[in-house]
Structure 1
Amino acid sequence: MAKHTAVCCTAPNYGDTIIQAFQQLHDEDLFHDVMLLSEDYQSYQAHRPLLAASSDYFRAMFSVGMKESLEMEVHLQGVPSQGLSSILEFIYSGKLFLSMANLETVLSAAVHLQVNEAVRLCKEFMVSKISAEDSIRIYQLAQLFYFNDVEAMAFDCILENFRVAARQVDFYELSAEQVMQFLKRNDLKACKEIDLFEIAREWIDFDREVRLSFAGQLMRKIRLPLITPSDLETKVKTVDFMRDITKCSRLVEEAEDYHRYPFLQNKKQSSRTQVRGTEQAICVVGGMSEYPTSQVMAYKIEGGKEAVELKEMNTCMHVHCAAVMDGFLYCVGGYNLRSTSKNKILSKLHRYDPRFNHWMELAPMSTGRINFSLCVFEGKLYAIGGIISVSNSKSQRTGSVEVYTPDTNSWEPATPLMSQMSCHAAVVYHDEIYLSGGDVYTSGKPSNNMMTYNPLSGNIHQKSPMKVARYLHGMCVVCDRIYVIGGVNQASSTTRSDVTAIECYDPYSNYWQIVTQMPFSRSVISPIVVNEKICILGGFSSLKQRETSEIIEFDPCMEWHVAGNLLTPISGHTCSMLTLPNTIPNSDIDMKPCSMQTTV
């Protein structure tokens, strides 16, 4: 007897056929077995089996033991007719017609009735409508219905497009607390501070009688010192409540005072003078490529070292120094080959303010310097050693130290070093300045010295020497260890060789060790630490006799890799970590205080 095997045959569109059949029964008003009443008592006929198959809510309602299972008419509290009709149409056809006008009503009905497929479609629609114009509304709905993923996407869109998003009607309907939560953030994009002031003012004017009482609190979230003096005068002080409400007028006075005395701004730093930005960038200032440059480039830490051009300095320079203090970038000294002066070594000090993309010239050092070091120590700048003159290819070195005090905009002499020093490297660590190497000749060789200098006491202490003498090298601190990188060794007055050994110094044990060799040569560098990795941007190769554009990262775990390239090969530049505003201001802004003194 033949054995028969059963074969499973499938109708691919069977489900669609059943849905179409139910829709036809519905359209022809056949076999309806329940009447649904909306919150506003609009009635809709339906089929229990299809409702139960489409919704856990109806499945439970029509189960045995529930009173609705025996009733022909069911009143759905909390479900308005517009939402109920849309959900029933979806249940019978699989089609859901959505717009920003009906989204909340339909979504509320879908969630209430637990029609999960309709909820999913609403979420997809919300994501598709996230834009500068609709992001606030989508954000509110996502919060209301606990769609955390959609909320996060809408929130990011608001931050990216805040100037547009905050001009929509939905923004004007936010509470004072919600508005303040936005205005205090550092990551608002495409917005100047004057734009945020205008947004806050417009929100108040939308319902002035009620909202004027929030003006003082709201304006504390606006960083008025980040508004230019001219805009303070013409756009802020002209607003009546900024004059008439004491809390607001005091904030205006604070901003005016900030601009009135630029040399005192270091001591006036607060939450309202903080750069409105979250991105840190490596600022590359000046340097030598084919020619000396005055260009200032910022390479963002995130996003593959994206480059942004900042306001240029008015002087070309290289082998100068730079340091960041109180959110300002200071550049001083250097060599200007294009200068018409006999002495091309600079003494000038400039301060860059990222809040306004603006350079300001400050008091110069008593003498020009190149190949020196600049350190920040307890709110002051220390210029240490260097070359102070070059004549007939001979360099005059110095062991002098000058200290700059921002409050008085002045330089004063400090305790000098015990010997002349140039082309050395320096870092601040635990209340002392560590100085290594340099062009300090002993028997015709560069130095391998390591010493500490205490700016307060003037005490100088010799430490264990490096394994390899070097100059024109770099130095930085990573995880309580001091690293020296690159540089040049010189066996005689005519023979130079690149140093590839990286040495690590333990300040606690006063011990050096060579941790690895660089797979390349670099000198005249300005290394910087990024996320506990040593980053070298550009530099000079004595072997190749040219500058490089490579950005190299070194992990203290002994790993090297190329992280990108500068726009141009360069050496003799400086690298400093600085927080930039999300919107780089126009560099041509007028920073002169309106009707204010410009000096103390």
Structure 2
Amino acid sequence: MSEDMSVYNELRLRKQLCDAVIRVDGVEFHVHKVILCSCSPYFRALFSHWSTPDCQIYDIHGVTAELMKVIVEFAYTGFVPVTQDNAQELFTAADRFNIMGILEACGDFIEQELSPQNCIGIWLFAETYYYPGLREKAFLFTLNHFEEVVATSEEFLSLPTEHLYEIVQSDQLSVKQEETVYEAILKWIAFAPEERKEYVCVLLSNVRLALISPKYIIKNVIENEFVKSSPEYRATVLETLNLIVDHMSKNFSKSLLCHSFARPRLPSSILLAVGGWTDGSPTNIIEAYDPRTDLWIRMDYPEHIRRAYHGAVFLNKSVYCVGGFDSVERFSTVHRFDLATHTWHEVSPMHSSRCFVSVTVMDEYIYAMGGYNGHSRLETAERYEPRSNQWTLIASMHEQRSDASSATLQNRVYICGGFNGRQCLSTAECYNPNTDQWTLITSMNSMRSGVGVIAYANRIFAVGGFDGSRRLATAEAYSPSTNTWDTVLSMKIPRSNFGISVIDDCLFVVGGYNGSTTASEVEYYDEKTNGWSDASNMEISRSALSCCVVHGLSTMANNAVLPFFHFPQMLDEEEEEMEA
């Protein structure tokens, strides 16, 4: 609160120089008209157009005295106490009085409170009061958590038809299996079958049948009572089933791929595996992984430079490849891949050539630390600002580190392990951008070069690596609050120089070197179950790759992303069954 406003508020509390009284349910608020006018067009109109100049007492109905007290105090202090108990009621009052500051504070609070149980109610609430920003966020939350919404939300069963249609027709709807969409629609219809069965065709027509196995369609769709009640939709199901069978017998045209029933849902996030070392040389291959379908899709870009021992990060709708090695040159160059246009651009180079570099993102900056320039291991570090296209040197680390790994947590950059030219390291340190200082933290329990480091479940995980004699499967996690490392369940296979990322609330490790060969195997750790599980292998085995997760695909051009998520391959045993 400014000094001037502090004076006005003190005058209000003393009821001095006040020129109006707001009266709500018998409670009087002595105010200065000019202060309320400054925060609300409603009060400006009330004082200047809807009353006579000599009017001093204003009776306001339809709002509680408690809420009016909050509104008046906000006008004088700029502070509003938003809680779970008052958020929606306060939002409604602020909408009536057109107080943008309170609307924004309530909107931000409600957004933070979004859950699968309340997102539909918040979506409809924001639509009623025409608050498009909050409406869009609640809608996207519903799309991204659809399976849990259907399973746990009482609001789902009361969803208006047009809103359910908006959900199921969206390419952004996030489901692991398309059957979930079909079953959700049936659940909604069955809640009030007499009044809702007329919507069978219009809703079920948005189910991407070609993404569902023929066995499921035959068993659960064709003979369903609601499907049979809609001859039009049942005919569509049979036609689609015939096209799928033709595809599986290899006697089909490309028409199915263009059919709306075959268009894949757009994932909210995908994991990219970029570059690396395979078959004795660096590669430029990028593979994209969709955790919903457990599928890897190869993305070929001939113009992309072959590189290994580099860093790849995602920032502002672009993937940046930083430093690395092409078997001849250690790079200082940085290339940016624009996911909306599928084009590569070279940006400003780093101050140093860096292969075996550690790269991470924090506060809209890309950090590049350590590495090897062909002559020595580096302790220097620098950061890149995309807006100015400029790299700036920051404080050097305490240790020379190549083949380390880094992550960000709670506004700090953490770097762990690596190789200093003489030995593998167990040391770790963190960087504070506010002071431009590195601080050594407790060392890891193991020396780890070629380690994978990632922020996950509010801790820093250090996974795998090379301890100077063998590749490791072990993992450990650092808690900043206690400055301690705790042992975590080991991976299924040992590996170093692999990709590591967090997607779908799981920690993924991708490829790497197991001590004898490069690997294509992928596994993931789920903290909730404290277990490692296998995911689909990459198409190629490689080490020295870098992984990053691309978020917000829904805000990019669909036609720039969807081509990589093709019509899914049917299981061999299902093909044999259908052909038989």
Instruction: Give the C-alpha shift of residue 583 in structure 1.
Output: 2.9
Measured after TM superposition, the shift of residue 551 of structure 1 is 1.1
Asked if 1:155 is matched to 2:206, the reply is: yes
* Cα drift, residue 488 of structure 1: 0.1
**Pairwise CA distance, 1:503:** 0.7
Counterpart for residue 389 of structure 2: 409
State the distance in 1 between where 2:339 and 2:194 align.
39
Amino acid at match of 1:357: H
Letter in 2 for 1:409: N
**Match of 2:429?**
451
Task: Quote the residue 1:536 is aligned against.
Answer: 509
* 1:383-394 correspondence runs (5 A): 383-389=368-374
Deviation, 1:561, is 2.1
Which residue is 1:547 aligned to? 518
Q: Given the superposition, is the C-alpha separation of residues 456 and 568 from structure 1 closer, same or farther in structure 2, using an over 3 Å criterion?
A: same
Amino acid at match of 1:282: L
Measured at CA, do residues 573 and 190 of structure 1 come closer, stay the same or move farther in structure 2, by a change above 3 Å?
Answer: farther
Aligned to 1:146: 196
Of 277, 280, 294, which aligns to 2:284?
294
Name the aligned partner's letter for residue 440 of structure 1.
N
CA–CA distance in structure 2, aligned partners of residues 280 and 586 of structure 1: 12
Q: Does 1:576 align with 2:548?
A: yes
2: distance between equivalents of 1:331 and 1:308?
A: 18
How many residues matched? 319
Aligned to 2:134: none
1:372 is aligned to 357
Other-structure match for 1:320: 310
CA distance in structure 2 between the aligned counterparts of 1:317 and 1:477, rounded to whole angstroms: 25
Match of 1:568, SS state, is: coil
Q: How does 1:328-343 map to 2 (within 5 A)?
A: 328-337=318-327, 339=328
Q: Does the aligned pair in 1 maintain the 2:284–2:301 contact within 8 Å?
A: no
Corresponding residue of 1:504: 477
Can you list the C-alpha shifts for 1:503-562, whole angstroms capped at 9, x where unaligned? 1211111111212233311000121112222111111011xx110111111223332222
Deviations 1:309-332 (A, max 9, x none): 153443110000011111211111
Q: Is the 8 A contact 2:520 2:541 kept in 1?
A: yes
Return the match for 1:429 from 399, 409, 415.
409
**Which of 268, 280, 283 is equivalent to 2:269?**
280
Partner of 1:479: 457
Q: Give the counterpart letter for 1:513 in structure 2.
A: D
Q: After TM superposition, give the deviation of residue 144 of structure 1 in Å.
A: 12
Contact 2:267 2:290 in 1 (8 A): no
Q: Which residue of 1 aligns with 2:294?
A: 304
CA drift at 1:409: 1.3
Q: For the Cα contact (< 8 Å) 1:428–1:434, is it kept in 2?
A: yes
SS at match of 1:355: coil
Check 1:434–1:585 CA distance in 2 against 1; reply closer, same or farther (3 A cut).
closer
* Conserved? CA contact 2:357–2:402, under 8 Å: yes
Counterpart of 1:407, as a letter, is R
Residue type at the aligned position of 1:286: G
After superposition, what is the alpha-carbon deviation per residue over 1:564-592, rounded to whole angstroms, capped at 9, x for unaligned? 110010111111111446433699xxxxx
| Letter aligned with residue 489 of structure 2 | T
Which residue number in structure 1 is paired with residue 398 of structure 2? 418
Q: Return the alpha-carbon distance in structure 2 between the equivalents of residues 308 and 548 of structure 1.
A: 16
Q: Is the 8 A contact 2:359 2:405 kept in 1?
A: no
| Secondary structure, counterpart of 2:540 in structure 1 | strand
Return the TM-score normalized by structure 1. Answer: 0.49
Q: 1:465 aligns with which of 439, 443, 453?
A: 443
Aligned 8 A contact 2:473 2:493 in 1: yes
| Deviation at residue 471 of structure 1 after TM alignment | 0.9
Cα shift at 1:287? 0.6
Q: Which runs of 5+ in 1 are unaligned?
A: 1-129, 132-138, 161-188, 192-275, 390-394, 491-495, 588-600
Q: What is the TM-score with the length of structure 2 in the denominator? A: 0.51
C-alpha displacement at 1:299, in angstroms?
Answer: 1.6
Structure 1 residue 149 displacement after superposition: 5.1
* Gapped regions of structure 2 (runs ≥ 5): 1-167, 170-184, 212-256, 260-264, 564-580
Deviations along 1:42-80, whole A, 9 cap, x unmatched? xxxxxxxxxxxxxxxxxxxxxxxxxxxxxxxxxxxxxxx
In 1, Cα distance between equivalents of 2:545 and 2:512: 8
Identity of aligned residues (%): 23
Matches of 1:554 and 1:377, distance apart in 2: 24
Question: Retained in 1: the 8 A contact 2:276–2:546?
Answer: yes
How many Å separate the matches in 2 of 1:456 and 1:313? Answer: 39
Q: Secondary structure at the match of 2:205?
A: helix
Q: 3-state DSSP class of the match of 1:527?
A: strand
Measure how far apart 1:145 and its partner are.
Answer: 5.8
Task: Give the distance between the partners of 1:519 and 1:284, measured in 2 at CA.
Answer: 20
CA RMSD of aligned residues (A): 3.1
Cα separation, partners in 2 of 1:158 and 1:514, compared to 1, 3 Å: closer
Alignment-derived partner of residue 107 in structure 1: none
- Distance (whole Å) between structure 2 residues aligned to residue 563 and residue 153 of structure 1: 31
Give the secondary structure class of the aligned counterpart of 1:152.
helix
- Residue equivalent to 1:523: 496
Contact (CA 8 Å) 2:501, 2:508: kept in 1 or not?
A: yes
Q: Could you give the per-residue CA deviations for residues 379-432 of structure 1, whole angstroms, max 9, x where no partner exists?
A: 11111111111xxxxx51111112211122121212221232111111100010
Contact 1:348 1:361 in 2 (8 A): yes
The answer to whether the Cα contact below 8 Å between 1:298 and 1:310 also exists between their aligned partners in 2 is no
Equivalent position of 1:561 in the other structure:
533
Instruction: Give SS of 2:376's match.
Output: strand
Check the 8 A contact 1:335/1:370 in 2, yes or no. Answer: yes
The change in CA–CA distance for 1:158 and 1:319 in structure 2 (over 3 A counts) is same
Task: Give the 3 Å change call, closer, same or farther, for CA 586–478 of structure 1 in structure 2.
Answer: closer
Contact kept, 8 Å, 1:452 with 1:462, in 2: the verdict is yes
Distance 2:268 2:258 in 1: 14
Distance 1:555 1:289 in 2: 29
Which whole-Å CA distance do the structure 2 matches of 1:520 and 1:564 have between them? 15
For residues 553 and 158 of structure 1, what CA distance do their matches in structure 2 show?
Answer: 30
Q: How does 1:109-128 map to 2 (within 5 A)?
A: none
